[in-house]
Structure 1
Amino acid sequence: MCKRACALLKCYINGVQNLESLYKYCPVYNFENLENEYAIQNVLNNQVTFSKRTNFNDLFDSKIDFIIPTKSELRAVHVQLKGAEKHEFKQLFFGEAGQRNFEAFRRNVNQKFDEYLFFCLTDKPDNNLMWSHYANSHKGFCLEWNVKDINAEKVIYQDSIARFELLDVFKMQFGLLDNGEVGRKIWEALKIKLTEWEYESEYRVQFGSDMKPLINKQEPNYTLVSYKPEWITAIIFGCRMDKRAIAYLDEKLPAFIERRYAVERKSSIEIVVKH
């Protein structure tokens, strides 16, 4: 991977300044055919999967409550417009066609949200539920990432799904609101999950246009993105991971990646280094 492309992905960490590492749980299913195991081949090929929200396992993850503006809010925008834009806005959002246009507009905005891609991590390498849900019941592994090499932001947990004002998009399209500000609001909404998932302590990396040189493969619901091998500092083998898979990865991974092991204790998981 070229130096320029690497520099595009390496940037300041927003909200994780006090962390040294973040972690990615990875499942392994078929120990008879490790060459075709998706997570194993990803780490050996120095690539990660950025997924769309439609590919997430949580029904409500990044789901948005789109707020349709009131008539008074629409009138307030209308008076700020001039000429052809003023006439176009009135035709679109006032009168009998207004409600239909709102619904069509809401669907279009929702589809736009569906295009965003994320890479998800956590700050907890010893969470039993995470090992169970995302590492095939402890049969998989967990990768430790050096946070200085990735731009990750903390997920916000709350009791209801995110709200997003459609009026902000109207304002942007008619030049009354900055594109960057609307983009930030979209990203904030896409970082919200319900409180019941708080145990995951999740962080998200958003795929940006400056990462395009790093794309290895692009599919409808996910994109494979390359990274520098040294951005991975350790691999943690699961409590139930097959010895064949451990040996396979141990042989093929660079020596600078530390080998650690998740060990079952009486009521918890402990991460150890075996000498």
Structure 2
Amino acid sequence: MGFDKESWLREQLTIAFQDSSQALQFIEEKKCKLNNKLYKYCPISDTDDIVQYPIENLKNDIIYMSRVSNFNDPFDTYISFDLNNTFENFIPKIIEMNTELDGELKPLVSVVLSLLMAKRPLKEDCLNNPQLFEIVGVDGREAKQVQQILNGQFPKIEAAKEAYQKMIESVKTEISNGIKKSREIINEKYYISCFSTSSNNALMWAHYSNKHKGFCIEYDLEKTRNTNFLINLYPVLYSKKRATIPSNLFDITATNNIKISTSNESIVDLLCALLTKSDIWKYEDEWRLLLYGGTMGVNDNKFKIDCINKIILGCQIEDKYEKILTQICKTKEIHLSKMLLDENEYQIHEEIIF
């Protein structure tokens, strides 16, 4: 059986959030899964008269952090939202806290809502719903008598339906504002940098290193003392279905002032949603550094790193950039290698330079 990445991630996050002393164990688990190595593919532009920022970042031991709104996949981190599912989860709490509903009307509203949410014929279903029999106190009577009594109850059921519509309209605006607020926070406050578990992925070289003209950085996780880097490093989860904003992200203690929840469960669900992308990208085998801007060492989209171990040159890199990167490696006393085309197969392989 394959490794269930999402179950492992949820379990580790839950443990770490419940007991911060377990964060170090989570770090060790991650390092073990990665065999202590991570890779970042870097492009070198074909335009000579511009600053080659990936090279400058390498010189300065910098990782560039992108805002999620800059990603090339429009679905990436743009979490969808299932409004019906959210209402189904919220409705029992909303009904319970609604002071405008009297005690008799609350159970009627609950039954009516369950039918409306299922888009079932209201009257026919109500007449055959045993919960309504209990509400009007006619359990066990003849079916004909029950129907007669329930027909008499329909003014109350219609009132329950009207109460539902009024209640939902008032809550809908608050939930929509909550969705907007959560997306703004994600887009403006979270910064992401992307890595891979492999350095010889030909598609990655083509897509992210300007058709093999760039380079790839190897990071040795054993060398870093930057705990922010290790703690906030997570595997990407791949799925055919879009990630949805978890309904438990919203605190509806007050329906006129819905807030974003900060419970451990909500944060775990949100992180997993942020880390989920389409399975068409599965070949990337991506891990992400996910940081909340302003609090985790991000400065002008830059994050300091201390564990660069090796530079791998693309097989199509220009001579002048090969010389520049060779000198950087010598200055930093890190390893250097180069990818070469295989003579017999459609593959690339790494050749050590020093």
Partner residue in 1 for 2:264:
180
Shift of 1:191: 0.6
Superposed CA RMSD: 2.9
**Distance verdict in 2 for CA 1:26–1:246, change over 3 Å:** same
User: Partner amino acid for 2:337?
Assistant: R
* Structure 1, 143-152 or 114-123: larger mean CA deviation: 143-152
Partner residue in 2 for 1:225:
303
Shift of 1:190: 0.7
Partner residue in 2 for 1:73:
89
Q: Helix, strand or coil for the counterpart of 2:217? A: strand
Partner residue in 1 for 2:137:
none
Q: Helix, strand or coil for the counterpart of 1:215? A: coil
Deviations 1:214-247 (A, max 9, x none): 3342xxxxx111122xx00000000010111111
The one of 116, 130, 138 equivalent to 2:190 is 116
Gaps of 5+ in 2: 1-25, 100-162
The one of 56, 59, 81 equivalent to 1:41 is 56
User: Partner amino acid for 2:36?
Assistant: E
Residue 101 in structure 1 maps to residue 174 in structure 2: yes
Partner residue in 1 for 2:41:
25
CA distance in 2, matches of 1:202, 1:110: 23
Task: Give the TM-score taking structure 2 as reference length.
Answer: 0.63
The structure carrying a bigger helix percent of its residues is 2
Aligned residues: 248
**Is contact 1:159-1:194 (8 Å) kept?**
yes
* Structure 1, 11-20 or 49-58: larger mean CA deviation: 11-20
Gaps of 5+ in 1: 1-10, 84-89, 218-222
Q: Helix, strand or coil for the counterpart of 2:244? A: strand
The structure carrying a bigger strand percent of its residues is 1
User: Partner amino acid for 2:173?
Assistant: R
Partner residue in 2 for 1:169:
250
Residue 126 in structure 1 maps to residue 200 in structure 2: yes
**Is contact 1:143-1:234 (8 Å) kept?**
yes
Q: Helix, strand or coil for the counterpart of 2:333? A: coil
* Structure 1, 241-250 or 94-103: larger mean CA deviation: 94-103
Larger-gyration structure (1/2): 2
Q: Helix, strand or coil for the counterpart of 1:259? A: strand
Q: Helix, strand or coil for the counterpart of 2:251? A: helix
CA distance in 1, matches of 2:192, 2:260: 29
CA distance in 2, matches of 1:270, 1:241: 15
Q: Identity percentage over the alignment?
A: 23
RCO greater where, 1 or 2, for CA within 8 Å and sep 6 or more?
Answer: 1
Partner residue in 2 for 1:139:
213
**Is contact 1:31-1:244 (8 Å) kept?**
no
CA distance in 1, matches of 2:60, 2:351: 26
Deviations 1:165-211 (A, max 9, x none): 23432258879965333222111101111111000000011114685
Residue 245 in structure 1 maps to residue 321 in structure 2: yes
